[in-house]
């Protein structure tokens, strides 16, 4: 009886094996990317839900008044300077949402000569941070989230160099479930080198509504 010895793989068999392996790696990479994107979106949603709870606690302790007045672009850190309320128009210019709700987020509130920038990860969209990698340090960015994007209602009020509108009472807003309060920020909403150049979640933006729920909203609704 003749014995057949293993002659190894032919060149064609090796090429086929390499092609199959490449396809599997490509498919596997796509699955990993989708899983990572989903995880980032879930973490972003969790961040906004925590902001919603802190805003609710703020309104409870402030006779139902929302925190404000606020600018649209929000810092991700707090310092003692931003807790200083100066009298007169524009007195709230440097006071952000993070400063007003810091106690309800369990954040350290600096005082005295402590000018450390205390960063809250809750204010940083994880997907947006990845888009900004190599561009700017997250601690320097003031604008990972955009507040009060509704140009008509302006629930958190607003301020400018010459005028200031106070924040609204939550009870005075007829349909809080329909009013956008906070959303991911990107250059599709506001052109700025310190924010992600494209939407953090590609085809949607996570939006916190005034009633506390978070929804993934398609880009064409902005």
According to DSSP, the β-strands at 164-165 and 180-184 are: unpaired
- Residue 215 gets which letter from DSSP? E
Judged by DSSP in three states, 24 sits in: helix
Half-sphere exposure of 201 (CA within 13 A, CB side): 24
Q: Looking at the predicted structure, is the pLDDT value of residue 213 above 70? A: yes
Give the confidence band of 33 by pLDDT, cuts at 50, 70, 90: low
Give the confidence band of 136 by pLDDT, cuts at 50, 70, 90: low
Closest CA to 182 of 139, 157, 150: 150
Closest CA to 201 of 181, 182, 186, 222: 186
Order across the sheet with 73-74: list the strands: 73-74, 145-147, 180-184, 204-209, 214-218
Give the confidence band of 184 by pLDDT, cuts at 50, 70, 90: confident
Upstream peptide bond of 152 is cis (omega within 30 degrees of 0):
no
Contact 182, 26 (CB under 8 A): no
Beta-sheet strands, E only, within the chain: 73-74, 77-78, 118-119, 145-147, 158-159, 164-165, 180-184, 204-209, 214-218
Task: Find where tokens 């969790």 sit.
Answer: 46
pLDDT of residue 88: 42
pLDDT of residue 93: 53
Q: Looking at the predicted structure, is the pLDDT value of residue 122 above 60? A: yes
What mean pLDDT value characterizes the chain?
79
Q: What residue spans define the domains of the chain?
A: 11-221
Q: Looking at the predicted structure, is the pLDDT value of residue 5 above 50? A: no
130 compared with 150, residue with greater pLDDT: 130
3-state secondary structure 13-81: HHHHHHHHHHHHHHHHHHHHHHHHHHHHHHHHHHHHHHHHHHHHHHHHHCCCECCCCCCCEECCEECHH
Kindly state the average pLDDT of the residues 209-222. Answer: 94
Query: What pTM does this model have?
Result: 0.77
pLDDT of residue 66: 96
Q: Looking at the predicted structure, is the pLDDT value of residue 165 above 80? A: yes
Give the confidence band of 43 by pLDDT, cuts at 50, 70, 90: very high
pLDDT in tens, 45-65: 999 999 999 999 999 999 999
7 compared with 37, residue with greater pLDDT: 37
Q: Looking at the predicted structure, is the pLDDT value of residue 169 above 80? A: yes
Task: Give dist(CA 46, CA 217) in Å, integer.
Answer: 16
Contact 182, 189 (CB under 8 A): no
Task: Give dist(CA 118, CA 110) in Å, integer.
Answer: 8
pLDDT in tens, 61-108: 999 999 988 877 787 777 665 444 444 444 455 678 888 899 999 887
């Amino acid at each position: 009886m003749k014995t057949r010895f293993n002659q190894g793989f032919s060149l064609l068999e090796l090429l086929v094996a390499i092609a199959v392996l490449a396809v599997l790696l490509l498919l596997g990479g796509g699955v990993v990317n989708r899983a990572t994107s989903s995880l980032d979106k879930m973490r972003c949603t969790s961040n906004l839900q925590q902001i919603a709870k802190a805003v609710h606690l703020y309104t409870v302790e402030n006779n139902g008044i929302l925190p404000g007045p606020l600018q649209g672009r929000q810092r991700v850190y707090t310092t003692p300077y931003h807790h200083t309320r100066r009298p007169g128009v524009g007195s709230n210019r440097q006071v952000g949402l993070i400063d007003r709700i810091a106690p309800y987020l369990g954040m350290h509130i600096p005082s005295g000569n402590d000018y450390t920038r205390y960063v809250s990860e809750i204010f940083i969209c994880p997907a947006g941070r990845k888009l900004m990698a190599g561009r700017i340090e997250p601690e320097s960015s003031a604008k990972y989230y955009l507040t009060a994007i509704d140009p008509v209602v302006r629930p958190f009020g607003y301020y400018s160099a010459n005028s200031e509108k106070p924040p609204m009472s939550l009870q005075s807003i007829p349909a809080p479930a329909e009013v956008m309060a906070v959303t991911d920020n990107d250059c599709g909403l506001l052109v700025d080198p310190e924010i992600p150049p494209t939407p953090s979640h590609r085809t949607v933006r996570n939006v916190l509504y005034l009633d506390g729920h978070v929804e993934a909203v398609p880009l064409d609704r902005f």
